[in-house]
Structure 1
Amino acid sequence: MGPVTGPVVPFGKPRGERADAVRNREHLLRTARQMLAEQGAEKVTMDGLAERAGLGKGTVFRRFGNRAGIFRALLDADEQRFQQHVLSGPPPLGPGAEPVERLIAYGRARIAFLIDHHAVARAAIDRSKPIPAGDPSMTQLHIRMLLLRAGPIPNHDGLAMQLTAALEGPLLLFLSHPAPGTTVAAQTAASLDNAWRTLIERLLR
């Protein structure tokens, strides 16, 4: 289960926004996060967000398009922070550790991210459009780079694609998922962590 929007990794120089538009966007995202924490994803609506934020409904619709757009924007913002940890954070997730350790750390961090964002990712699906295949761009590029550094392994591209699917499969969006913070959720995360470590160690060691 990955973010369900287009690639977050930027290409080219982004077009600037007006200062008031940026302020409104940040205010709306903060408000949406507060509503999400207090009420759950199912209670967050376009009208409710506009009322809670003290902004006109037109502003919310222009910013997000529809309800799913609210959650896509939340995912995008959190995805960018996650990518920064991967690209410039401390090892083993960030640079400085051996490739195998970074692969294990990346999978574990990604699993935690996806579990934490499960409800948001489901809500980010636009029911009027085909079910997306996720956005594997960052994961696939990162895994491929680490595989290349790990040593002589045949078919890096195919292997990176398969490992990415193990982390980013959109089918997980439709499986039952334990509530965050419960014992079952912790056991699920631990099981997936151990499975990822086993997979990488069997493959590369």
Structure 2
Amino acid sequence: MDRSVVPFGKPRAERADAVRNREHLLRTAREMIAEHGVERVTMDGLAERAGLGKGTVFRRFGSRAGIFRALLDADERRFQEQVLSGPPPLGPGAEPVERLVAYGRARIAFLVDRHAIARASLERNQPVPAGDPSITQPHLRVLLAQAVPSMPNLDGVTIQLTAALAGPLLLYLSRPETDANQAAETADFLGDAWQTLIERLVR
């Protein structure tokens, strides 16, 4: 097991029917997003499309923003699995610098691709969250320590690099109406900058 990241805790056991309902609702929400975009997804619409009661949707997600937080959480878990046990260079098996570059590029692409979903996951009148460093920060710290064992102020450098991959920053750098080609260009542009930063840092 790759010790450079901290895995999510074991989820609380759910009834089988609750698990089926959740997965069905998430699949349905993704279908609706693909067909009509994020803005057209509502609690009522999701319940009707999924063939479930509105109360079931509210109990599962709490609010419209909760739908998108659940989608992001599911994607985050898959992303972490790729980092923990996927093929290199994102997963184990590559040199530390190569993994640092790959992680930054993958993380940026992950956030840019989910820009509209991330915006929709924010509750109205609530501040933009500072981001969750639980995966990124320890992963970067371990790889930096392997790449440059004598790096001064390792913890501070790690915090700065973690901030560069934080979701809130990318929410402001890109636009929700960005099309697929523009999103890919944005991810490449920021990924190239990340690679330059890492390569200069570890010289």
Rounded to whole Å, the distance in 1 between the matches of 2:161 and 2:41 is 34
Superposed, 1:79-118 pairs within 5 Å as: 79-118=76-115
2:198 aligned residue: 200
- Specify which structure has the bigger relative contact order, considering alpha-carbon pairs within 8 angstroms and separated by 6 or more residues: 1
The gaps in structure 2 that reach 5 residues or longer are: 1-5
Q: CA RMSD in A?
A: 1.5
Rounded to whole Å, the distance in 2 between the matches of 1:14 and 1:187 is 36
Which residue type is aligned with residue 155 of structure 1? N
TM-score (norm 1): 0.91
Q: What SS is found at the alignment partner of 1:137?
A: coil
2:64 aligned residue: 67
Say which of 147, 150, 155 aligns to 1:150: 147
Say which of 172, 175, 179 aligns to 1:174: 172
1:36-92 deviation line (CA, Å, top 9, x unaligned): 100111110000000000000000000000000000000000010000001101111
Rounded to whole Å, the distance in 2 between the matches of 1:63 and 1:105 is 35
Identity %: 73
Rounded to whole Å, the distance in 2 between the matches of 1:169 and 1:176 is 11
Rounded to whole Å, the distance in 2 between the matches of 1:164 and 1:9 is 17
Say which of 157, 160, 163 aligns to 1:162: 160
1:85-141 deviation line (CA, Å, top 9, x unaligned): 011011111111111000000001111101111000000001143321111210111
The gaps in structure 1 that reach 5 residues or longer are: 1-7
Q: Does the 8 A contact of 1:107 with 1:167 survive in 2?
A: yes
Rounded to whole Å, the distance in 1 between the matches of 2:172 and 2:190 is 17
